Amino acid sequence: MLGLDTFLLRTFFVDIVCSICFALILLMIKIPQSEYSSRLSWTKTYIALCFIACAVVFLFAIYHQNLPDFKLFASMMMLVVTAVSAATLSYSLMNLLDENSVDRDKFFLNVGLVAVLAVLMARSIIAGKSLTRDIFIWVFIAVHLIQCVVHIILFNSVFKKSLKQLEAFYDEEEDHKIRWIRFCYAIMMATEMFVLVYIALPSGAMPIYVLFYALFMLYFTSNFISFLGSHKLLLDAFAHKALSGQDIKLPKRKPRDDNERREEALREDGQAREKEFKALEKNLEKWVATKKYREYDKSRDEIADELHTSKELLQLYFTAKVGEDFRTWRTRLRVEDAKKLLLADKMVSTNYIAELTGFSDRSNFHRQFTKLVGCSPKEWRERAEGKCPDQE
C-alpha cells in the first residue's frame, strides 16, 4: 500500500503533467487573425500561462516534500493554485465576453496580491513559525473568498450583458452558444471554493481533490478548444455593441427660416422613404418565397444585405408598417412553416423540422411554437385538423 505522502506526491505529478500538456496544446493552437480575434488569442495565452503557473506551484510543493508539516504545506499550495486559477480564468473569460469588463491593471494587481501573500505564507510555513503561519493562512483564505465573491458578481453582470449583445446582433436565441462558459465558470468557482472544505477534512482527502482538479483542467481545456472553432459567431457579435438597440435617427438638417422649403424637404423625404418601403416589401416577398427565413446564424447586416437595404431601414419598416419587430415576424413564418411540415409527414421527427425551419435548437422550437400556437408541436401533430385540445 502506498503511504499518504507518496500518493499525494504522485497526484501532484499528475497535475503537473496535465497542466504543462494543456498549456502547450493551447499555445500551439493557431487562431486565424481577424479584426476581432485578438482578445481570443490573449484569452488563450492567459489560460496557458495560468496552467504553467499552477505547474510551477506544484513543483515548488514537491521540492519541499521533506518539511515536517508537509501535508499543511501541500494543502496551502493547492489553495494558491486555486487562487491563481480563479483570478486568471475569471479575467480571461470575462475579457472574452467583454474586453472592457475588467481593467488589465486591476487584474495584474489581483494576481500580484495573491503571489505576495502566497510567498509570505509559504515562507512562514517553511520557517516553522506557527503564529505567523496561522496569520498568513487566514489572511490568504479571507482574500481568496473575497476574490471569488467579487469575480462571481462581475462575471454574472458581464454574462448577462453579453447575452443581450449576442441576441441583438444575430436576432436569434443564441444563449446556447456561450452556455458552456457559464457552466465552466460555475464548476471552476465551485472547485476553487471547495478547496477550503478539503482543507478542513482529514488529510487523506487532499489527493482526491488534486485529482479532481486535474479533471477540471481537462474539462475546461476541451471545452475551450472546442469553442475556438466557432469563435467568429461570438466575437463578431460582441464587437458590434447592441446593434438592434440603437435608435434610428434620420440625418439632421440645418435649420432654415423658410418654412415652405422645410415642409417641401420633409415631403420629399417622406416620399423617398415610401419608395424605399415599397422596394423593401417586394424584396421581402421574394425573401419569403425562397424560404430565406429558414437560414440560421445570420446577422442583421447580412439579412439587410440580402434585402438590399440597411438594418436601420429594416427596423424602421417593421416598426412603422408591420407593427412588430423583424424577429417576431420571422418566428411566425418559421412556426407556420413548421405547422405545415408537422402535418405533411407525421414520420418526420420534430427535431428535424426544428432544424429545417431555422430554429437554433429543439427547446427553442418547442418554446416558440407553444407560445404562438398554444400547444406543443407534438400535440399539434396529434390533431388531424391542426387544432390544439384547448382550442376546441
Q: What is the pLDDT of residue 32?
A: 66
Q: What average pLDDT score do residues 58-75 get? A: 86
Handedness of CA 93, 96, 102, 103 (dihedral sign): positive
Q: What is the pLDDT of residue 86?
A: 85
Type of residue at 137: I
Q: Is residue 134 over pLDDT 70?
A: yes
Residue 306, burial from CB neighbour count under 10 angstroms (0-12, 13-18, 19+): middle
Q: What is the pLDDT of residue 255?
A: 47
User: Is 136 in a helix, a strand, or coil?
Assistant: helix
Q: What is the pLDDT of residue 247?
A: 38
Q: Answer yes or no: are the C-beta atoms of 91 and 107 closer than 8 Å.
A: yes
Q: Is residue 240 over pLDDT 70?
A: no
**Using one digit for the tens of pLDDT, what is the confidence trace for 198-238?**
666 655 677 777 888 888 888 888 878 777 665 544 444 44
Q: What is the pLDDT of residue 372?
A: 87
Q: What is the pLDDT of residue 362?
A: 81
Rounded Cα distance, 384 and 378, in Å:
12
Q: Answer yes or no: are the C-beta atoms of 202 and 72 closer than 8 Å.
A: no
Q: What is the pLDDT of residue 75?
A: 82
**Rg for the chain, CA atoms, rounded:** 28
Q: Which of 78, 54, 51 is nearest to 209 (CA)?
A: 78
Least confident of 7-11, 14-18, 205-209: 205-209
**Using one digit for the tens of pLDDT, what is the confidence trace for 313-327?**
888 888 788 888 888
Q: Tell me the pTM.
A: 0.60
**Using one digit for the tens of pLDDT, what is the confidence trace for 332-369?**
899 998 888 888 877 888 888 888 888 877 888 888 88
Share the mean pLDDT of the chain.
77
Q: Is residue 246 over pLDDT 50?
A: no
Handedness of CA 62, 64, 69, 72 (dihedral sign): negative
Q: Is residue 269 over pLDDT 70?
A: no
Q: Is residue 20 over pLDDT 90?
A: yes
Q: What is the pLDDT of residue 37?
A: 67
